[in-house]
């Protein structure tokens, strides 16, 4: 159990650091927070004599993207008739995949370093962990590209959403599917001879299904133009967060590393899942706060939760303490005025 605590703490430290830097919420001292040091300064292969051994995990991770991009768009298919489509795939990948903090992807190698002794952490296993990390970043890009269309978002990571670019529009739906399909091409090519390959496929498929269920619940809770604040309960909020965010953002990277390390017992995965889903909920609460009160210059996006009628933590908590008059005001103005919830929340 202690190994799982260390793994969860280190694999997600970058996420926690980002949250604490941007948000007024402060995490209290806790064994999870005070565990071992961050993985980000570790070098590849624990002393392997090569130039790569001098690079940190984030540097190795960035270098790996160029390699997999070349593989997918230049060496994967040899049909000359697909030249334009592969060029489009390259543009999609470059624009949508590497622009984030990469915390989910880096959590794979960070977790693997916690789970394997140095003698077992070979250069091949490091490279596979980096590639699996990029597959998670690609899964994230697939989700976000589709989510931006459904939410009619304007910006993502400090630039226009992909579907908002000239000439893209709803073609972005197929573009997002290309990104998702590329995940399984990479996993098959690089991992199918590994004993954990089937576990990885099941993990990615199950996580995708869980996330899409969470997205469906989110959309059903707040259909466009239909205001029903009775749907905005803490139970519903926690379920949306668990399935839409926590599974793929927190459990997926650590679970992938566990399978790579040969940790495949249901008990250990259940223990890790419990810890990581709690951390995912904490992360989402801060994200909801930043959607309303965060500076777009810092967060990289313009928040739309209020005008999108989203079941966010702010409105759920506000509904628990609003007076009847304030609730009535919120029901009338929730959809039309972006600043309404901000003003009410500040006043209570």
Q: Is 101 one of the annotated active-site residues of the chain?
A: yes
Rounded to an integer, the average pLDDT of 13-32 is: 38
Q: What is the pLDDT of residue 153?
A: 86
Q: What is the pLDDT of residue 297?
A: 78
Q: What is the pLDDT of residue 76?
A: 78
Indicate which residue of 42, 148, 218, 308 is catalytic.
218
Above 50 in pLDDT, residue 285? yes
Q: Is 301 one of the annotated active-site residues of the chain?
A: no
Q: How confident is the model at residue 35 (pLDDT cuts 50, 70, 90)?
A: very low
Q: What is the pLDDT of residue 151?
A: 84
Indicate which residue of 57, 175, 287, 291 is catalytic.
287
Q: Is 287 one of the annotated active-site residues of the chain?
A: yes
Q: What is the pLDDT of residue 112?
A: 97
As a whole-number percent, the residues of the chain with pLDDT over 90 amount to: 57
Q: What is the pLDDT of residue 158?
A: 85
Q: What is the pLDDT of residue 46?
A: 40
Indicate which residue of 147, 291, 305, 308 is catalytic.
147
The whole-angstrom separation of Cα 341 and Cα 326 is 10
Q: Is 76 one of the annotated active-site residues of the chain?
A: no
Q: What is the pLDDT of residue 133?
A: 98
Q: What is the pLDDT of residue 180?
A: 98
* pLDDT 10s digits, 151-166: 888 889 889 999 999 9
Above 60 in pLDDT, residue 17? no
Cβ burial 66-96 (10 Å sphere, 16+ → b, else e): eebbebbbeebeeeeeeeeebebbeebbebb
The whole-angstrom separation of Cα 75 and Cα 14 is 33
Q: What is the pLDDT of residue 228?
A: 79
Q: How confident is the model at residue 267 (pLDDT cuts 50, 70, 90)?
A: very high
Above 50 in pLDDT, residue 25? no
CATH number of the domain that residue 291 is part of: 1.10.600.10
Q: Is 151 one of the annotated active-site residues of the chain?
A: yes
Q: Which of 152, 250, 159, 247 is nearest to 205 (CA)?
A: 247
Q: Is 57 one of the annotated active-site residues of the chain?
A: no
Above 90 in pLDDT, residue 36? no
Q: Is 142 one of the annotated active-site residues of the chain?
A: yes
Residue ranges making up the domain that contains 317:
2-347
Mean pLDDT estimate for the chain: 83
Rounded to an integer, the average pLDDT of 220-230 is: 78
Q: Is 218 one of the annotated active-site residues of the chain?
A: yes
Indicate which residue of 52, 76, 151, 333 is catalytic.
151
Q: Which residues contact 208 (CB under 8 A, 6 or more apart)?
A: 139, 180, 248
Indicate which residue of 88, 101, 157, 231 is catalytic.
101
Indicate which residue of 142, 204, 247, 250 is catalytic.
142
Q: Which of 312, 323, 279 is nearest to 11 (CA)?
A: 279
Indicate which residue of 102, 104, 113, 156 is catalytic.
156
Q: How confident is the model at residue 16 (pLDDT cuts 50, 70, 90)?
A: very low
Long-range contacts of 197-200 (CB under 8 A, 24+ apart): 199/259, 199/264, 200/132, 200/256, 200/259
Prediction pTM value: 0.80
Indicate which residue of 39, 247, 283, 334 is catalytic.
283
Q: Which of 311, 204, 215 is nearest to 255 (CA)?
A: 204
Q: Is 124 exposed, middle or buried (0-12, 13-18, 19+ CB in 10 A)?
A: exposed
Q: How confident is the model at residue 2 (pLDDT cuts 50, 70, 90)?
A: low
Indicate which residue of 244, 273, 301, 310 is catalytic.
244
Rounded to an integer, the average pLDDT of 205-223 is: 93
Q: Is 283 one of the annotated active-site residues of the chain?
A: yes
Q: Is 156 one of the annotated active-site residues of the chain?
A: yes
The whole-angstrom separation of Cα 206 and Cα 173 is 21
Dihedral sign for Cα 28, 32, 37, 42, please.
Answer: negative
As a whole-number percent, the residues of the chain with pLDDT over 70 amount to: 79
Indicate which residue of 42, 148, 288, 308 is catalytic.
288
Q: What is the pLDDT of residue 23?
A: 39
Total number of domains constituting the chain: 1
């Amino acid at each position: 159990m202690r190994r799982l605590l260390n793994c969860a703490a280190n694999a997600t430290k970058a996420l926690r650091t980002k949250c604490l830097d941007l948000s007024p919420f402060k995490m209290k001292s806790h064994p999870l927070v005070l565990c071992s040091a961050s993985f980000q300064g570790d070098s590849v292969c624990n002393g392997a004599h090569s130039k790569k051994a001098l690079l940190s995990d984030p540097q190795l991770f960035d270098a790996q993207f160029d390699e997999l991009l070349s593989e997918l768009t230049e060496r994967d298919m040899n049909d000359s008739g697909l030249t334009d489509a592969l060029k489009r795939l390259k543009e999609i990948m470059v624009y949508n995949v590497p622009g984030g903090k990469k915390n989910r992807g880096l959590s794979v190698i960070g977790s693997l370093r916690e789970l394997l002794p140095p003698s077992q952490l070979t250069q091949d296993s490091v490279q596979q962990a980096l590639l699996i990390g990029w597959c998670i970043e690609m899964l994230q890009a697939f989700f976000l590209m589709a989510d931006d269309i459904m939410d009619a978002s304007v910006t993502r990571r400090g630039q226009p959403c992909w579907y908002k670019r000239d000439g893209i529009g709803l073609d972005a739906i197929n573009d997002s599917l290309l990104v998702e399909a590329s995940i399984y091409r990479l996993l098959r090519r690089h991992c199918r001879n590994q004993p954990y390959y089937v576990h990885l496929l099941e993990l990615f498929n199950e996580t995708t299904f869980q996330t899409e269920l969470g997205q469906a619940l989110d959309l059903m809770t707040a259909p466009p133009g239909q205001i029903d604040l009775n749907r905005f309960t803490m139970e519903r909020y926690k379920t949306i967060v668990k399935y839409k965010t926590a599974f793929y953002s927190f459990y997926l990277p650590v679970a992938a590393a566990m399978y790579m390390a040969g940790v495949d017992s249901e008990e250990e995965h259940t223990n890790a899942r419990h810890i990581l889903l709690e951390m995912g909920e904490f992360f989402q609460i801060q994200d909801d706060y930043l959607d309303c009160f965060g500076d777009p210059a810092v967060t990289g996006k313009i928040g739309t939760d209020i005008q999108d009628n989203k079941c966010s933590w702010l409105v759920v908590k506000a509904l628990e303490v609003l007076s009847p008059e304030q609730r009535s005001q919120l029901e009338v103005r929730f959809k039309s005025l972006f600043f309404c919830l901000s003003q009410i929340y500040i006043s209570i």
